[in-house]
Structure 1
């Protein structure tokens, strides 16, 4: 049975313990997406006091087309690397590892933010963005996005991150392809099968792996279930995670889909265990569970019940870097 402060290895990277700070947006980057003193101070404080083995930083856009909101961090160009290197150096000084989350907002991106029309798997408005009808992406555009993810992964490596996490959750682009609620294509990327719905993910994983090499961990955060009629299901999630493991993913991070980071009717610690438990039974790579965990005892219980290999503590750490001490 695993315990909170047991080490764990992801690919060739060993974490000092099994507590993870998951991605949560600070919206404190500058207008070019470079991290600021405020961003650095926020993460450095949590690395120092939160007793975590891994930080996954807030989602960084891989191209301006996929920028979700003001103050979002960027991995879209080489000029952000020096500021990110300063961030990662400070986290490493505290003995904590750090992954960068790579994101494209897809249909959730507004032209007033990006200067470009929104795009996605199908011309369906995002639940939280009803102002502009997105255009259906062509195969060429899908290939371009795949290349953007790969370049962003390499920039993260050059900026000193210990790994990357591909953002396929909370209704962003990769999650939109996975969800039948957002994907009504008729081609090989369409909703006819989980294999089709994860095709873009496999292409992104392959391109990122070619960019960063064999020793650099690649994780994937999956919005595994939409908790809505006609949406993705727990069974879809398990099948997809098997596919991702075969494609070379080193860490699977389970959360909600098009509905965001909530599970309707559930607020108990580890409320996405309905996803993590069957996935953990189906794969051999480490599985990360987040959702509603606010104390060390809760994390220890979830590990003891074999719900996951790592436990994410989100809002408690966001609000208080000293959460583990109860101060």
Structure 2
């Protein structure tokens, strides 16, 4: 058996293979963020072949203040739970586990209400923003916890906290943006304080048995930004606080590597994290060939492989690639 087709346990989840559909925004929700037939149809098409072990559903906003885009999925209200149940049930019917990603866009927020200012850790030149104070931070922690509870109530198999691609938690993590001088800024320990408080609140809201993932923008690849060493330090703490899986992507470079273009281009990060933590690590980044993915797994550079664009372009790509692997 190839390693890519071997099973893996993540907390109490039994993954039938090592292949994950990572979160990719579709902007197919209704105006208020509620579930649409378009979303259900999209995920049905991507999972109907039954080959994926896990789907991490695209980022959903935890509050109107944290909305990233129009037609983004909402987990900001209990009213959304019934619609979300339709998506989790569809994924299960198609033979895959489903984890919901929850997010606050921070400085990149685009609320439907034009009077709500984007909020972030620090002021930025030329931007009209709200610098978060203690009250705002407490509210965001509560919003993440309640959003996670809604994901559990909606039947998803886990929840993923988004701290990558320059969104709010990544803004606190990165010294390129976080210029605070209080308990949430300066040292790396301070810059991940909000992460720790959110993880603790989420864990309290969903219970000890519910899987909690974290997507980490592990390296900014910019002078003065976060480094792989920072992520090793942070990941050890996230594991202690109750994170069950680390999903690795880029920070202010987004989901691409600025210089490395080979398949699995963030593997230098996941390889180091695997040496530092005992929880599984998920690698995404330009993978379009299962042989290449299997080689990365065999080298122990990651535990799971995220394949996004290839499946986005061709819903049957994975099924055909797995059939070729058997020959």
Cα distance, 1:266 vs. partner? 1.6
**Structure 2: runs of 5 or more not aligned:** none
Cα distance, 1:295 vs. partner? 2.0
Closer, same or farther: CA 12–50 of 1 in aligned 2, 3 Å: closer
C-alpha separation between the residues in 2 aligned to 1:94 and 1:182? 41
Deviations 1:202-240 (A, max 9, x none): 100000011001110000000011000011111101111
What corresponds to 1:14 in structure 2? 14
Deviations 1:54-93 (A, max 9, x none): 0000000000001011110000001111111011101101
Q: 2:153 aligns with which of 141, 144, 158?
A: 158
What corresponds to 1:94 in structure 2? 94
C-alpha separation between the residues in 2 aligned to 1:321 and 1:298? 20
Deviations 1:30-62 (A, max 9, x none): 011112111111112212226210000000000
Closer, same or farther: CA 203–74 of 1 in aligned 2, 3 Å: same
Q: Report the secondary structure of 1:300's partner residue.
A: helix
- Give the 5 Å matches for 1:1-327: 3-49=3-49, 51-110=51-110, 115-124=115-124, 132-190=127-185, 192-324=186-318, 325=320
Cα distance, 1:113 vs. partner? 5.8
Deviations 1:300-320 (A, max 9, x none): 111111110000001111111
C-alpha separation between the residues in 1 aligned to 2:115 and 2:9? 42
CA RMSD, 1 decimal = 1.6
* Equivalent residues, number: 321
Cα distance, 1:267 vs. partner? 1.5
Retained in 2: the 8 A contact 1:66–1:114?
A: no
Closer, same or farther: CA 239–227 of 1 in aligned 2, 3 Å: same
More off after superposition, 317-326 vs 299-308: 317-326
C-alpha separation between the residues in 1 aligned to 2:2 and 2:99? 22
Provide the TM-score with structure 2 as the length reference: 0.95
Provide the TM-score with structure 1 as the length reference: 0.95
C-alpha separation between the residues in 2 aligned to 1:213 and 1:227? 36
C-alpha separation between the residues in 2 aligned to 1:114 and 1:163? 33
Retained in 2: the 8 A contact 1:67–1:113?
A: no
Retained in 2: the 8 A contact 1:50–1:321?
A: no
Retained in 1: the 8 A contact 2:70–2:112?
A: no
Q: Report the secondary structure of 1:49's partner residue.
A: coil
C-alpha separation between the residues in 2 aligned to 1:316 and 1:106? 29
C-alpha separation between the residues in 1 aligned to 2:128 and 2:110? 10
Which of structure 1's runs of 4+ aligned residues deviate more than 2 A?
110-115
Retained in 1: the 8 A contact 2:160–2:213?
A: yes
C-alpha separation between the residues in 2 aligned to 1:275 and 1:140? 35
Closer, same or farther: CA 81–193 of 1 in aligned 2, 3 Å: same
Q: Report the secondary structure of 2:4's partner residue.
A: coil
Q: Report the secondary structure of 1:225's partner residue.
A: coil
**Structure 1: runs of 5 or more not aligned:** none
C-alpha separation between the residues in 1 aligned to 2:5 and 2:214? 23
Q: Report the secondary structure of 2:222's partner residue.
A: coil
